[in-house]
Structure 1
Amino acid sequence: MNILLVLIPVTVLVLLVAVALFFWAVNHQQFDDLDSPAILPLLDEPAPAEHATPPNATHSPKA
């Protein structure tokens, strides 16, 4: 029964931290755009440029 003397304040502390984090997230616009992140994986990747150099190509020989 003595464990309740520890668990009740710990639970209240966890609840207060959760509420504080929720209000912090709301104040920092974390919930403003809920639709765009869900669509981003479905978008096509941009077409590669025609005159782009390959990543392993070098422009000038090293001396």
Structure 2
Amino acid sequence: MWNEGTPSDIPVVDGVRLLVLDAPPYERSRPAGRFLPHMTGDLALARVLGEEEAGRLLAGCASKDA
């Protein structure tokens, strides 16, 4: 997601929005925070995916640039 992106930019995979967290591809000159006043944020680790399930989900996450 780019800084000017919105939650609707997150792709839907198997009926849920799937966001893969990874290190940024480059260093930013300013913080990459977001301000979405009408959307509350929450994050909970429910479980760690197994290798097969993770591979299946990631296969459905093709980059638009690829």
- Which structure would you say has the larger Rg? 1
More strand by share: 2
TM beyond 0.5: no
More helix by share: 1
TM-score (normalizing by structure 1): 0.18
Does 1 or 2 have the higher relative contact order (CA < 8 Å, sep 6+)?
A: 2
TM-score (normalizing by structure 2): 0.18
